[in-house]
Structure 1
């Protein structure tokens, strides 16, 4: 596990804030001890209004969009970020740059 990792803030071409951060992709096991965890560096972007509405139609409350390298993502179902465990409800990619977009949130009743 990486400790003391600093966040790197920047803006993309559209001027939207992006944060490079250490996240943990999680494949849940039968118990917490059996969870398979994979720590990766991801670019974190805010969720847009359209995505927030689309997630709500699936019973989810969208929280973050994570961009990770395609070879680091193995169809994990959850992600740990900022001390919270979120459900990955949608993925997109890989894109031309080799990254996959992961959309994560919480069940609407659990927020």
Structure 2
């Protein structure tokens, strides 16, 4: 394989828009350097008032979410976490149900591992 096939450059916002926000993960085609079954990375651009269509239940991954801009609320059973300042982040483990809501226009970077099919919430 030549080195060009192992290097990808892009811009997060337009690349993310092409695949529901996801920049890297199992859903990229095999052979694409962005294909991974180990980790998923999402550049989430969320307008004020956008919310997850349904709660994630039976979570099998660990996740890290970092606020880039705006204000973003995560809901967990019995706990609410608000990411309000650039760099605020939250990590949650396997088995933690969750949902989210954009309190302001927000950009968040999400990293989940491992990358496994499922959890897609269609509007």
Question: Would the TM-score normalized by the shorter structure come out above 0.5?
Answer: no
Greater strand share, structure number: 1
The structure, 1 or 2, with the larger RCO (C-alpha pairs under 8 Å, 6+ apart) is 2
TM-score normalised according to structure 2 size: 0.26
